[in-house]
Amino acid sequence: MMNAKVLFGFHAVTVRLKTAPESVLEVHVDGARRDARMRQFVARAAAAGVKIVASDAEHLSRLIHGGAHQGVVARVKPLAARHSLDDILDAVRGPPLVLALDGITDPHNLGACLRVADGAGVHAVIAPRDHAVGVNATVAKVASGAAETVPYLMVVNLARTLGELKERGLKLVGTADDAPRTLYEAELGVPLALVLGAEGTGMRQLTRRSCDELVRIPMKGAVESLNVSVAAGVCLYEALRQRGG
């Protein structure tokens, strides 16, 4: 099990059981939980032929070094590397939708972004390799399974990758508090890459200059900005609305 990784929480482990059961080495469950949700989960794991290990809450917490495991921890094999961005986009029917995240280092924010990206039908999420968090157990837990379904590609040079998307015909729309137009004035039904930066700092200047257009989310209250995952949800679902839902 040297190459095994850990997933925890009902959603994250259930999605792995559904999408790649052969990669699940064993599932540790809290033997003190006998509620309906746990019984259904154990039945699903057993049906998949996965080894089930009865444990206790303290041992499960040690396996994940703390965290809200919900009584479920799985040891899994890493999945094979995702296809390249070109391969993903070549397979898209209709206008592609890509989410680019610049400088997102908080695993909770990334997990929430992946979850909303899955809901909005995003074809790929990209981020710079040196200025972003990778998919770890916390990301997978917060993403509620979306870390298994949405391709998350960490690229060497984000600005260069954005340029390549532009060459493929994608429009690059970034968010900025000082943008002259609002999100709702932009055309988002076209092949599109939405670009968001970290809360507070925003996009780096090179990333910002790569965008074809900058837009802002209207803010009517006292706060000046939204959490990046909330902003991603607002932007992606406006794009989805313009594409006919």
Mean pLDDT, to the nearest integer, of 150-154? 93
Residue 14 burial (C-beta neighbours within 10 Å; 0-12, 13-18, 19+): buried
* Final residue of a structural domain among 43, 76, 109: 76
**What's the Rg (C-alpha) of the chain?**
19
Q: How many domains does the chain have?
A: 2
pLDDT at 77: 87
- Could you tell me if 143 and 224 lie in one domain? yes
Residue 25 has a pLDDT of 93
Q: Domain boundary at 33, 49, 76, which?
A: 76
Percentage of the chain exceeding pLDDT 90: 64
Which pTM value belongs to this model?
0.74
Q: Cα–Cα distance between 129 and 232 in angstroms, integer? A: 20
For residue 116, which phi and psi values (nearest 5 degrees)?
Answer: -70, -30
Q: Can you tell me the distance from the alpha carbon of 65 to that of 132, in angstroms, rounded to the nearest whole number?
A: 22
Q: Which of 45, 76, 107 is the last residue of a domain?
A: 76
Residue 201 has pLDDT above 50, yes or no: yes
Predicted local confidence at residue 1, as pLDDT: 43
Instruction: Give the mean pLDDT of 64-88.
Output: 83
- Here the CATH number for the domain that contains residue 67 is 3.30.1330.30
Looking up residue 179, the CATH number of its domain turns out to be 3.40.1280.10
pLDDT digits (tens, 9 = 90+) for 21-52: 998 999 999 999 989 999 999 999 999 999 99
Q: What is the overall mean pLDDT for the chain?
A: 91
Based on the fold, state whether residues 178 and 230 are members of the same structural domain: yes
* Structural domain containing residue 25: 5-76
